[in-house]
Structure 1
C-alpha cells in the first residue's frame, strides 16, 4: 500500500516537466525572502518535493543552481527593500504583523554577529526572511552581503536536494523488487529532516545564548 502511494506521488512529480519543477522551486524560494512568504510556507518543502523528481546528477545540479539563484534574487530584493524603504516597511501593517520583537531580534543578531549572522540566518526560522532587510537598512555593502549569503544558499540547497533526491533514487531502485522500499524512502526523508531540524534547533539555541551574552 505504501509503495503504491509513493509510486503515484513520484510518478506525478516526475510527470511535471523538469523545467517547470525547477521554475516553481526557484520562484518559490525567491518569494520566500523577498515578500516574506517563508514566514508562512517554508521554501524547504517546495525544494524537497521538486527534488523528488530528479533522475540524474545533472538534473540535480541544474535544480540546485536555480534554487540558489532564486534564493539570491529573493534575498537581494529583501536587501533592496530594507535599503530603500526598510523603516517604512517595518512600521507598515505587514511589519507590525511580523512583530517588533522579531525585528529587534534580527537587528540585534546582525549587530552582534555581522557577516556570520547573514550566513547562519539562511538556516534559522524567521531570521532568514528578516535579516536581508535588516542588512539593507544598515546600509551594509551589497558585495559583502553576497559574499556571506552565496555560500549559505549553496550549502542549504545542496543539503535539501541531496536528501530528497537520494531518498527518491533509492526508492526507484528498490521499489519494483522490495516491499519495504517505501519504508526506506520514508526513513531517509524522516531521518534527514530530523537531523536538519535538530541542527536548526541547536544552531538557534546557540545563537540565542550568544545574543543574551
Structure 2
C-alpha cells in the first residue's frame, strides 16, 4: 500500500505545477458553468491536483486558480441565463434535467435569496442550475458575485487545504511509519465521506426549509 500511495503522489507531483494548476482551474470552471457541471467532475480533479502540492506557494496558487475558475464558471452560467436561459432550459439537455429540478431551483432562489446562491456551491445539481436560474431572474450580477465569491473561496479552501494537508502529512509519516499508506487512504476516505455527508445534511436541511415555507405562508 505504501509503495502504491507513494507512486500515485509522485506521479501527480511529476506533472508540471503550472499545468496542474491550470487544469484544476479550467475543470472547476466547467464544473460550475451551467449544465456542464453535471458532466465534468471538477471537484475530483481539484482533489487530485491538491495531492500534488509540494509547497505553500503551489497551494496558494492552486487555491487562487480554483477560486478564479469557479467564479468564471458561475459568471458564465449567470450571463448565459440572462441572455439565453429559456432556450437552454428548453434544449435537449435542459429537458433531460427535468422540469421539477428547474422549478426546485427557482423556488429555492425565491425563498432563500442570497443564502441560496451561497449554499448552492455545496449542493449537487443546484450548483449548476442556480447560476443559470439567477441569470434568468432580475437579480443583479453585483449581488450575485457578493454571495458566490465567499462560497467559492470557502469551497476551494476546504478541498485544496485538506487534500494537500493529507498528502503532506503522508510524506512525513511514511518515513517513520511502515503502514502510512493505509493512514493516507483512510484520511482521504474520511475527507470524501465528510464532504458527502455535509452536502447531504445541507441538502436535506434546505429541502425541509422549502417544504415548510408554504406552511408558514398559509
Which TM class, normalised by the smaller chain length?
over 0.9
TM-score (norm. length: structure 2)? 0.94
Stretches of structure 1 that go unaligned for 5 or more consecutive residues are none
Q: What SS does the corresponding residue of 1:167 show, helix, strand or coil? A: helix
Higher alpha-carbon deviation: 49-58 or 145-154? 49-58
Compute the displacement of 1:36 (Å): 2.3
Kept after mapping to 1: 8 A contact 2:34/2:77: yes
Higher alpha-carbon deviation: 197-206 or 174-183? 174-183
| C-alpha RMSD over aligned residues | 1.0
Q: Which residue of 2 aligns with 1:148?
A: 147
Per-residue CA deviations over 1:125-175 (Å, capped at 9, x if unaligned) read 000000000000002100000000000000001001111101100111122
Kept after mapping to 2: 8 A contact 1:118/1:145: yes
Q: Which residue of 2 aligns with 1:110?
A: 109
- Would you say how many aligned residue pairs link Structure 1 and Structure 2? 212
2:132 and 2:26 map into 1 onto residues whose CA distance is 19
Kept after mapping to 1: 8 A contact 2:82/2:135: yes
Structure 1 stretches (4+) deviating beyond 3 angstroms? none
Q: Which residue of 2 aligns with 1:99?
A: 98
Q: What SS does the corresponding residue of 2:67 show, helix, strand or coil? A: helix
2:45 and 2:78 map into 1 onto residues whose CA distance is 23
1:35 and 1:204 map into 2 onto residues whose CA distance is 19
Q: What SS does the corresponding residue of 1:12 show, helix, strand or coil? A: helix
TM-score (norm. length: structure 1)? 0.97
Per-residue CA deviations over 1:163-207 (Å, capped at 9, x if unaligned) read 110110011112233211111111211112222111111100000
Q: Which residue of 2 aligns with 1:62?
A: 61
